[in-house]
Structures are given as structure tokens and as C-alpha cells.
Amino acid sequence: MRRRLGWTGALLLLATTAAAQGTGPRESRGAPAGAFDFWVLALSWSPGFCEAGGSGRGRGQCEVGRQLGFVVHGLWPQFESGYPSFCEPGGRFPARAAVDEARDLFPDEGLARYQWRKHGTCSGLGPAEYYRAVRRARERVRVPDRLEKPATSAKVLAAEIERAFTQVNPDLRPDMMAVACGRRIFQEIRICLTRDLRAFRACPEVDRDGCRAGEITVNAVR
């Protein structure tokens, strides 16, 4: 059974013919480590990720019965325009102790290690420090109760999801985040934070790249 979530407030109706995502920011591989402007915390909505194709990748995130909702996809250093990646090719590998400490944040070890290689190496931090930063960022964001573990799927607008997050995170505004979707399915929310992780901040490029698919499905946990 699908129902519309009862989230109040006047909402702009986005055209259903619009593209689901923008073209995406420019990636700068091998940029200098530590040279970035702000962070993006990407929280993957497990039911949507799995529905849109994640199940076929053998991800532990998609094992039926785990009842996963939001999990950390990654904490990404970001430029005002574009983002750095793979800043230390062949560099440090995270120690077992560091990965174990982040086990409750990421849905599986493989993702934790990959996020370090692609994004953590650009932070200017060591692996253990990076995973601690991930934890601080995750603890900074409160998830709306209605999106913790919904038992039924629902169709909503991306703006409704953003509104739900602003209601429980008083300093957060719609221009400080973006909803990601694919095949009209909610997959992720991306929230922008200052370099010291103490506050949310505006991020025009990230915001512009958000979902423009009109009504999308928020899948129930499974």
C-alpha cells in the first residue's frame, strides 16, 4: 500500500517532465589534499538505493531483514564549484582499528574503505581522523521521525523531504542540502557543512544538482 505522507506547508509543484538529476559538479582527481571549501554529508536511503539497482551489486546494505534506513554514503570535501577526489593515489590505507570504529556508520566495510580512498584522502586528515569526522557530521544531523523506519512506501516531492529535515534541524535551510533520486525513487540526501563541522552552510551548486523529478517514491524499509 502506498500513501502520501502528511507533511504540511505550501510546496512548489515541480514539473514531472524535468530531469531527475542535473549534470553534476566537476570532479578534480588528484587535487591537493586538504584544499577544499566545505563538506557534504551524503546519507543514503537504503530502500531507495536497493530498489534502484543496489541489490544487484551484492551490497550488504540491501540484505532483506536488516531494516536499514539512512546510512552514511560518505563525507565529501567540496569546492564551491566541483569537488576533489582520489587525492593520494597509492597512499595510506585505513587500519583495521579505524575501519572497525566506523562500522556502525557505513553499511559495509567495502564502502567505508572506498570512501576513504575517493574522498577521505582529499580531507587532509589521516584515516582514523577522517572516520571520526564522519561520525561528527552524522551526529550533527537529526533524521525526521517519520523517515526513521517507515513501514509503508509513499509518494512525495523532494521539497517535502527537505522540509521535514529543516523542521527537526533548526539551522538547516533548503539551500543547504539536496535530495538525490533516480527512476523517480528517493535515494539520498546531501547536507552541506562548514569545514569545522559545527554548522550547516549554503551550497548553491549542490542544491542546484538536486532531484527535479516531481513526485518521487520513498520506499519502506525491508
Q: pLDDT tens digits for 19-45?
A: 344 457 899 999 999 999 999 999 999
Cβ count near 95 (within 10 Å) = 12
Q: pLDDT tens digits for 165-194?
A: 999 999 999 999 999 999 999 999 999 999
pLDDT at 75: 98
Place of cell 531507495: 48
**pLDDT category of residue 56 using cuts at 50, 70 and 90:** low
**pLDDT category of residue 18 using cuts at 50, 70 and 90:** very low
As a whole number of angstroms, the distance between CA 154 and CA 215 comes to 10
Average pLDDT over residues 72-99: 91
**pLDDT category of residue 54 using cuts at 50, 70 and 90:** low
Q: pLDDT tens digits for 212-222?
A: 989 999 999 98
Higher pLDDT, 51 or 13: 51
**pLDDT category of residue 136 using cuts at 50, 70 and 90:** very high
Q: How far apart are the first and last CA of the chain?
A: 14
The torsion of the CA quartet 136, 142, 147, 148, rounded to 10 degrees, works out to 60
pLDDT at 91: 67
Q: How many residues does this entry show for the chain? A: 222
As a whole number of angstroms, the distance between CA 173 and CA 95 comes to 37
Fold adopted by 2-218: Ribonuclease Rh; Chain A (3.90.730)
pLDDT at 19: 36
pLDDT at 9: 30
Q: Residue 22 region, left (φ>0) first, then alpha (ψ -120 to 50), else beta?
A: beta
